[in-house]
Structure 1
Amino acid sequence: MLKGFFKKTKYVTTSSPLYEKPPTPNIPDGMWIKCTACEQIVYKKDLESNKKVCPHCGYHFRMTARERMDLIIDEGTFREFNQNLFTLNPLSFPNYEKKISEQQEKAKLSEAVVTGTGKICGEETVIAVMDSHFLMGSMGSVVGEKITRAVEEATKRKLPVVIFSTSGGARMQEGIFSLMQMAKTSAAIAKHDEEGLLYISVLTDPTTGGVTASFAMLGDIILAEPGALIGFAGPRVIEQTIKQKLPEGFQKSEFLLEHGLIDEIIPRDHLKETLGKLLRLHKEVG
């Protein structure tokens, strides 16, 4: 009766469709982006059509200099100058020339700032836009020279100047040469101010180091994008120095506005309109 009850049963593996591994979705790389702030997945084309602002939480993604120009300058009015200034290696820093060459190829720029003239809502202005995609927007001798020449051109032509800052600070490969740019750019802005001309500084994420310690904070009007990191030294360095825990949101543009370091925070979709109004008002008053 129990014969065969304890006999080991042989099982046969089959390739039933019910147990087949589902095919991997064929999604091309780069179509979707994960938001840094809310971690929602955003369709890349939707993000680009929304001026690179997350539609879920409003986080402002970083823009290239060219993207910023397309957003701010009236179509067909931008005229670039000093685009043929190229970085040398004054301190013979190892592999610096190679690094610069790689950045130029990657970012499609000669340096970390683009300068020129153009119209914002019909108002002629000199504009300089830094690009964090080129060595984190670090300020070397060419970046400082291009910004200085842009301000001097604005002074010569009696035009306002708008500078979009984004930077990790001075460029270490150029040592004292990069630090000298802080004084040079500040001196050019002082002369521009003496002529009674307008300088609007727009701070974007991140604006730190020597750029913050010089021209970025010298604007007659200082604007910032929401959530931008703005400061000189990083939070960790400050905490180690003062031996205290920093407040929540320290060095964000909202914190700086609350404490009077900047004049206003302007969302990206209102930035061009705001700049146009400020330029027009100053022109009428002047």
Structure 2
Amino acid sequence: MNWVTRVRNAIPFIAKRETVETLWHKCKGCQSMIFLKEYEENQSVCPKCDYHGRIGPAERFAAIFDDGSLRVLPMPKVVEDPLKFKDTKKYPDRIKAARAQTGETDAMISGHGKIDGQPAVISVQDFAFMGGSMGMAVGEAFVAAAQEALVNKCPYIIFTAAGGARMQEGILSLMQMPRSTVAIQMLREAGLPYIVVLTDPTTGGVTASYAMLGDIQIAEPGALIGFAGQRVIEQTIREKLPEGFQRAEYLLDHGMVDMVKHRHELKATLSNLIGYLMASKKAA
């Protein structure tokens, strides 16, 4: 043992210091510094400007489901690298990194539980997992969650957040668009509600499929919702787009969504909608 090791081992353990990064959060809306604990307790909504930050499945489930009612659905198994895709990194390496970062298997997590005592199945897309991109695993998770709703005769609710289809899976990713559409049609034929909550951001192939097929379309304030990016549209039509284009409030004004609801109001809103839409089922 050299002298460096002896000196290092003799130093008493010192707990990790709290820094600016662990104590404070800088709001992307108003640039204010917010105490991190206060920000997280407010469901990642800025208490000063109401900017809605992005949150993952665990936070969503905790905010929407009744305490102790959540049962996380198992993630369906799929071929993880069907095209043997490689760009600057191998696709399996990107998946491993995303799993290590988020602790999730893929970009969509589903759960069955109760909302004010009413059963429902909820799926949440996690933008932190490869931009919430829609690959085969997401498609399988969507179909499995819809089937769970069919078996339990309850509504299916999805919180979307995605950059679109997963390019590393090519046409196999795009095939999830019609597959999810068929699953939604099965819910409709069974008379079960399909409710979509659009969160920031929801774009690309997800917007072109299950994100815009809800019986009720809800959006969070300020959420970016669209198919192509604003810059691409401007270059294509050679016109300047209006202020707030592709934001939730603009889409509400133009009839693309049914309502824009604050994150704190979502549970009560979903509970009321389930009560209205499932009234005939309960009577039967």
Compute the TM-score of the two structures, normalised by the length of structure 2. Answer: 0.89
Q: 1:1-286 residue pairs with structure 2 within 5 A?
A: 27-83=19-75, 85=77, 88-94=80-86, 95-286=90-281
In structure 1, how many angstroms separate the alpha carbons of the residues matched to 2:148 and 2:254? 34
In structure 2, how many angstroms separate the alpha carbons of the residues matched to 1:249 and 1:58? 16
Look up the equivalent residue of 1:185 and give its one-letter code.
Answer: S
Q: CA deviation at 1:36?
A: 0.6
Q: State the Cα RMSD in Å.
A: 1.4
In structure 2, how many angstroms separate the alpha carbons of the residues matched to 1:67 and 1:157? 24
Gapped regions of structure 2 (runs ≥ 5): 1-17
- 1:200 partner SS: strand
In structure 2, how many angstroms separate the alpha carbons of the residues matched to 1:29 and 1:203? 29
| Bigger fraction of residues in helix | 2
The percent of aligned pairs where both chains have the same amino acid is: 49
Gapped regions of structure 1 (runs ≥ 5): 1-25
> Per-residue displacement from partner, 1:208-232 (whole Å, max 9, x unpaired)?
0011100011000000100000000
* Contact 2:160-2:211 at 8 Å conserved across structures: yes
Give the match for residue 12 of structure 1: none
Q: CA deviation at 1:65?
A: 1.1
* Contact 1:86-1:110 at 8 Å conserved across structures: no
* Contact 2:198-2:220 at 8 Å conserved across structures: yes
> Per-residue displacement from partner, 1:135-184 (whole Å, max 9, x unpaired)?
01000001011101111221233211000000000000000000000000
* Contact 1:167-1:211 at 8 Å conserved across structures: yes
In structure 2, how many angstroms separate the alpha carbons of the residues matched to 1:29 and 1:252? 29
Structure with larger Rg: 1
> Per-residue displacement from partner, 1:57-86 (whole Å, max 9, x unpaired)?
000000011111111111111111232535
In structure 2, how many angstroms separate the alpha carbons of the residues matched to 1:92 and 1:27? 42
In structure 2, how many angstroms separate the alpha carbons of the residues matched to 1:84 and 1:275? 27
In structure 2, how many angstroms separate the alpha carbons of the residues matched to 1:53 and 1:126? 24
In structure 2, how many angstroms separate the alpha carbons of the residues matched to 1:188 and 1:29? 43
- 2:21 partner SS: coil
* Contact 1:114-1:129 at 8 Å conserved across structures: yes
Which piece of structure 1 moves more, 122-131 or 79-88? 79-88
Compute the TM-score of the two structures, normalised by the length of structure 1. Answer: 0.89
> Per-residue displacement from partner, 1:5-24 (whole Å, max 9, x unpaired)?
xxxxxxxxxxxxxxxxxxxx
Q: CA deviation at 1:282?
A: 1.6
> Per-residue displacement from partner, 1:16-69 (whole Å, max 9, x unpaired)?
xxxxxxxxxx84532111111111111101101111100110000000111111
Decide whether aligned partners of structure 1 residues 86 and 110 sit closer, same or farther in structure 2, where only a CA change above 3 A counts. farther
* Contact 2:76-2:144 at 8 Å conserved across structures: no
Give the match for residue 5 of structure 1: none
